[in-house]
Structure formats: structure tokens, C-alpha cells
């Protein structure tokens, strides 16, 4: 529990720092795409490590760094203003984050086996 708690504190502070440094919705894209990539990468790189380290990094740090709730909030605001824009935003973020996670998994696996 402490590993998740301390990782969560660090991840949420890092997210707040990016929000402060990069205004607007661009910050959310950076956070979710980079975070998704790192989660995929961490899954491969941490597979043989201790449960505490895996929980600290994946659930705590990266889980609190990425944010589905902020994405959902932005998405529904956009849907209210323009259905087409909202759909494009939702699909774009989902596809980009999923592709980033897949790239992280692939690069993490390549480093493990190569």
C-alpha cells in the first residue's frame, strides 16, 4: 500500500507540473500518451522485479500520472459543444493512448529479448 501511495503522490505531482507548464488540452494529450507508453514499457521491463516496485511504478506513479477522469470531462464538454469534434477527440485520444501503450510494450519487449 505504501508503494502505491508514494508512487501516486509522485505521479499526481508530475501531472500537476505538466498542467502548469503546458496550458490547454495539449497537456492532457502529453500526459495520457506519454503515460500510456511508459505503462506499456514498464510492464515488460518490470516483469521480473518485486511486486512493490511494480506497484510503485505502474499502479502508483503511472496510474496517477495518467488521467481518464480529466479526459472524460474534456470529452463530454466537447460532445456538448460539437458532436463531431467530441467524437474525433474521444477516438483520437483513445487510439493515440492505445498505440502508445502498444509501442511501449513492443519496445520493452525488444529490449528484454534483444
Q: Mind listing the pLDDT tens digit for each residue in 90-110? A: 999 999 999 999 999 999 998
- Rounded CA-CA distance 95/93 in Å is 6
- Rounded CA-CA distance 3/39 in Å is 16
- What is the pLDDT, as a whole number, of residue 78? 93
48 is in an annotated binding site: no
**Residue 77 pLDDT level (bands cut at 50, 70, 90):** very high
Mean pLDDT of 4-15: 96
66 is in an annotated binding site: yes
- What is the pLDDT, as a whole number, of residue 113? 56
Mean pLDDT of 58-78: 93
Alpha helix segments (H runs only) across the chain: 2-21, 26-45, 51-54, 63-65, 68-81, 83-113
- What is the pLDDT, as a whole number, of residue 110? 84
* Alpha carbon separation from 17 to 58, 88, 107 (Å, rounded): 19, 27, 27
- pTM, 2 dp: 0.89
- Res 10 pLDDT > 90: yes
Place of cell 458532436: 83
- Res 112 pLDDT > 70: no
- What is the pLDDT, as a whole number, of residue 42? 95
- Write out the three cell numbers for 68: 481518464
Which DSSP state fits 23?
A: -
- Rounded CA-CA distance 24/26 in Å is 5
Amino acid at each position: 500500500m505504501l508503494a502505491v501511495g508514494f508512487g501516486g503522490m509522485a505521479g499526481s505531482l508530475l501531472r500537476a507540473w505538466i498542467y502548469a507548464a503546458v496550458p490547454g488540452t495539449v497537456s492532457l494529450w502529453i500526459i495520457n500518451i506519454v503515460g500510456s507508453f511508459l505503462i506499456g514499457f514498464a510492464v515488460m521491463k518490470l516483469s521480473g522485479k518485486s511486486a512493490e516496485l511494480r506497484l510503485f511504478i505502474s499502479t502508483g506513479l503511472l496510474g496517477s500520472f495518467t488521467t481518464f477522469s480529466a479526459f472524460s470531462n474534456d470529452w463530454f464538454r466537447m460532445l456538448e459543444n460539437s458532436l463531431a469534434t467530441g467524437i474525433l477527440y474521444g477516438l483520437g485520444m483513445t487510439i493515440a493512448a492505445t498505440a502508445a501503450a502498444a509501442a511501449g510494450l513492443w519496445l520493452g519487449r525488444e529490449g528484454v529479448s534483444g
